[in-house]
Structure 1
Amino acid sequence: MQPQTSPAPLAPSPSDVQPVPRLALFDLDHTLLPLDSDYEWGQFICRLGWVDADAFARRNAEFLAQYRAGTLNLDDYIHFATEAIRARGEAASALAHQQFMREVIEPAIRPAALELLEQHRRAGDEIVIITATNAFITTPIARRLGVENLLAVNLQRDPTGWYSGHIDGIPSSREGKVLRMNEWLQARGWDWGDVFTTFYSDSHNDIPLLSQVNLPVATNPDDTLRQHALRQGWRVLELFQSPQSHD
């Protein structure tokens, strides 16, 4: 009698194979937009007369110098950057942001950026914008771009429900972008090995997250990121010409 053997397992049919979720991650300023939305908001409230333009420019230049030196205290910057909206209140700030969208953001949106987003939608990718600019500024921008998932610097709220001038949680800046993506993935029951990730960014500050993803794309890169991308063999994409980024 021949020994009995178990039948060989059937190979999974194509319908049985679960595709790996694909995520398309995007920085915002100088990546999807050819400007820095945080800086432009500051210029906008100067034009509105909400702040003293000269004093605001001097203080902003100090923070920019600290940023470039790697010594910026982001919580101090957020306290400064949100002072005007905290003083004006929620209703006036919302109306001002609508005007900001019409006058500054809408004219800056480029067809090439919209088409890149649409390519990922057509491919079935889930899109996430992850930016070091605060959520007050960026939430309406992400909505205009048709992106539901936004990881921005969250702003703490005071007992009245309006902003306190402090950061809520981990700021999505530099290594913080990796930590925020970790949280986002874990909330969905995923780890990095469960998804295929592409990340587009212009800034050398995003090298930690670019190094984490499956497909890093240096997009309109600053000089430091361009050199790093060329050394690493990363793709370089020019959507439009851009200067330095704050992200």
Structure 2
Amino acid sequence: MSLRRGEQDPGLERERIAVVAGAASADAAVAMEANEPPRTSAPPDLTAAAFFDVDNTVMMGASIFHFARGLAARKFFTNSDLLKFAMQQVLFRVGGKETAESIRTSREQALSFVAGHTVAELISLGEEIFDDLMADKIWPGTRALAQMHLEAGQRVWLVTATPVELASIIARRLGLTGALGTVAESTDGVFTGKLVGEMLHGPAKAHAVRSLAAREGLDLRRCTAYSDSSNDVPMLSVVGTAVAVNPDGGLREVARKRGWEIRDFRTGRKAAKIGVPSVLGAGALAGAVAAGLAYKKRAF
């Protein structure tokens, strides 16, 4: 379809916004890492890193849904609202694909959720809720993979559509380097109700990884990425080694075609039985799920 004079190509505009989101996420990740106390670890491998998707890769279920449960328990919104969110997730799982409309709706609702609240409030609640509801949802096998990268002297980053403040809490609790997440605009420590770019989803994750690599001097050919979702094929494709963890049908098919390693921890295998992954030998884990948090905006 031809464009009228002055009209923008929607595809190019989406790509531009994804680039902005990726760059903003990388900036936020570097800034947050700089505020963390120094770690004692193995001698650093400065040009290699690992990138992990969060939902169903590192954590069982959607991290933002667990956070929503915690907010409902603290009367931030009602259990009825939480049920609506859960039903949306069921419909998504049955439907099998996110659409532009569902992502747009999620974005608007997520913005409504944070608008007017402070960054400090979100972080304080996130820390409480992780300890109460998320700590026991971590896949032991994936955590073991992340630890192997750390012990090899590599940095390990989470990459997720979850707000970067919450993603950073998860990374910190797991002893990881940091997190790339969705960046919500704030002024004087208060969320404005706008995003910087868009949600960190799909191609935006790949742009975030590229942006972080440029800032940190990483050689992406020596980096590894882990995910469960076919939505993350762009991110998995920018690194030298891609690993499908607990993959959905689409990603499993792509992984088989491209010769990517597949790890499935849903069978009950213990982390102790995993062994050293081949990625270390060769190279030496919502987004749209934020929808349910937006039904009501109450004081913390």
Which of these residues, 121, 140, 155, is aligned with residue 169 of structure 2?
140
Note the C-alpha offset of 1:125: 1.9
Cα separation, 2, equivalents of 1:20 and 1:85: 36
Cα separation, 1, equivalents of 2:85 and 2:217: 43
How many residue pairs match? The answer is 223
With the length of structure 2 as denominator, give the TM-score of the two structures.
0.64
1:113 corresponds to 2:139: no
Cα separation, 1, equivalents of 2:96 and 2:71: 22
| Structure 1 residues not aligned, in runs of 5+ | 1-18
Sort the Cα spacing of 1:213 and 1:162 in 2 relative to 1 into closer, same or farther, 3 A: same
Q: Name the amino acid aligned to 1:32.
A: V
Which of these residues, 73, 77, 84, is aligned with residue 51 of structure 1?
77
Partner-residue secondary structure (3-state), 2:223 = strand
Sort the Cα spacing of 1:102 and 1:82 in 2 relative to 1 into closer, same or farther, 3 A: farther
Q: Name the amino acid aligned to 2:262.
A: V
Cα separation, 2, equivalents of 1:223 and 1:168: 32
Asked if structure 1 preserves the Cα contact closer than 8 Å seen for 2:57 and 2:139, the reply is: no
Q: Name the amino acid aligned to 1:98.
A: E
Q: How does 1:32-111 map to 2 (within 5 A)?
A: 32-55=58-81, 57-58=83-84, 65=92, 68-72=97-101, 74=103, 76-81=105-110, 83-86=112-115, 89-90=118-119, 92-111=121-140
Counterpart in the other structure of 1:149:
178
Asked if structure 1 preserves the Cα contact closer than 8 Å seen for 2:48 and 2:219, the reply is: no
Deviations 1:48-106 (A, max 9, x none): 22113334544675697599342146465244235455456455544432321121111
Deviations 1:86-141 (A, max 9, x none): 45645554443232112111122343233211111122222121112111321111
Cα separation, 1, equivalents of 2:69 and 2:53: 21
Asked if structure 1 preserves the Cα contact closer than 8 Å seen for 2:117 and 2:191, the reply is: no
Higher RCO (CA-CA < 8 Å; seq separation 6+): 2
1:125 corresponds to 2:154: yes
* Structure exhibiting the larger radius of gyration computed from Cα positions: 1
Percent of aligned positions that are identical: 23
Sort the Cα spacing of 1:225 and 1:137 in 2 relative to 1 into closer, same or farther, 3 A: same
Counterpart in the other structure of 2:249:
223
With the length of structure 1 as denominator, give the TM-score of the two structures.
0.77
1:164 corresponds to 2:192: yes
Sort the Cα spacing of 1:119 and 1:45 in 2 relative to 1 into closer, same or farther, 3 A: same
| Structure 2 residues not aligned, in runs of 5+ | 1-44, 269-285, 288-300
Partner-residue secondary structure (3-state), 2:97 = helix
Deviations 1:186-224 (A, max 9, x none): 2234564xx411111001100111122211100011111
